[in-house]
Structure 1
Amino acid sequence: MDRGTFIQHEGRPAVRFERTYAHPAERVWEAVSTPEGLAHWFPSTVELEPHAGGKITFSGDPNLEAMTGTVLAFEPPRRLAFSWGGDELRFNVESIDAEHCRLTLVNVLEARDTAARNAAGWTVCLAELGKHLSGASADGPHSTSAEPWQPLYDEYVASGMPYGAAVPSA
């Protein structure tokens, strides 16, 4: 499984993840682009205006203040991008065949030293997305049933991914 890589995206630091799912692109699109789908795995409660230039709001994350961003791209069923604080999130859903697709998540970072922290967080979130898509109970990344964040963070730091940003308290 792709545990995420540190990359440069259009001259900015980013972490990138790729997952392949045994589901049609439309199923994965629903999970990554609607408040109902995101509720199962995303770290914040999301409301969004489904068009480029629309407003997106984030609330309910115990590690962040509520905030708003802008939908940068909304192209069903393949591409969603939005700003989140100083970061950008980019989701690309690519059909492989009628029953399989590939999801690429790129978190373009405001600060390089957030790479290990955010990569660990997205690893937890994507594990919850995998549960949700498979029909298993997905209680979200802040739940006690989610994969523990700290060992993942330690793994990313040990692998040489940039770190140093404040991390959530346990």
Structure 2
Amino acid sequence: MTGSIEQGASQVHGSTHILHFLVRIPRPMETVWPVLSTPEGLEAWFTSVDVLEPRLGGAVTLRDLGAGRVTAWDVDRVAEYTMDDAGRLRFHLEREGDDASILRFTHEFQGEQETEARWRARFERMIAFLGA
């Protein structure tokens, strides 16, 4: 089984854009979680991390998106980063059997800075990095 990006959706509510993805990853949650929640993991497929305090309220600075705060943190399941200028990114990881995971991703932002295609490419890099 290979990883797949099964669903990508974009919604606009006024000036707020919301991107949703469902990504199936044939790797256990314990393998996928560090890719979403550590500087080394995020740098491997998404962007360089200057600061990441892995706790609710912790500081986060993602090189391509700017500075913000960790607004949700449930170890092994949920990492949410709310960036001052780039909106809210939520990674929600779920177990799918013993050897696979499902990532439910949401990016809520103002303006036009992100696209469904850019996130799809990022998730393809993540799947490749995980060897899925």
TM-score range, shorter chain: 0.7 to 0.9
Q: Distance in 1 between matches of 2:102 and 2:123?
A: 13
Match of 1:2 in 2: 6
Identity of aligned residues (%): 29
Residues paired across the two proteins, number: 126
Unpaired segments of 5 or more residues in structure 2?
Answer: none
| Structure 2 match to 1:80 | 79
CA distance in 2, matches of 1:46, 1:131: 23
Q: Which TM-score applies when normalising by structure 2?
A: 0.84
Report which structure shows greater RCO (CA 8 Å, sep ≥6). 2
Deviation, 1:7, is 3.3
Q: What TM-score results when the alignment is normalised by the length of structure 1?
A: 0.66
Give, in angstroms, the shift of residue 32 of structure 1: 0.7
Structure 1 stretches lacking a partner, 5+ long: 136-170
Deviation at 1:8, TM superposition (A): 6.2
| Higher normalized helix content (fraction of residues) | 1
Q: Does 1:48 align with 2:52?
A: yes
Give the AA of the match of 2:72.
Answer: A
Q: Provide the rounded CA distance (Å) in 2 between the counterparts of 1:16 and 1:87.
A: 14
Q: Does the aligned pair in 2 maintain the 1:82–1:89 contact within 8 Å?
A: yes
- Aligned amino acid, residue 87 of structure 1: G
Q: Which amino acid aligns with 1:37?
A: G
Q: Which has the higher strand share?
A: 2
Q: Does residue 1:20 correspond to 2:35, yes or no?
A: no
The structure with the larger Rg is: 1
Contact 1:43 1:125 in 2 (8 A): no
Q: Distance in 2 between matches of 1:132 and 1:86?
A: 25
1:46: Cα distance to partner?
4.6
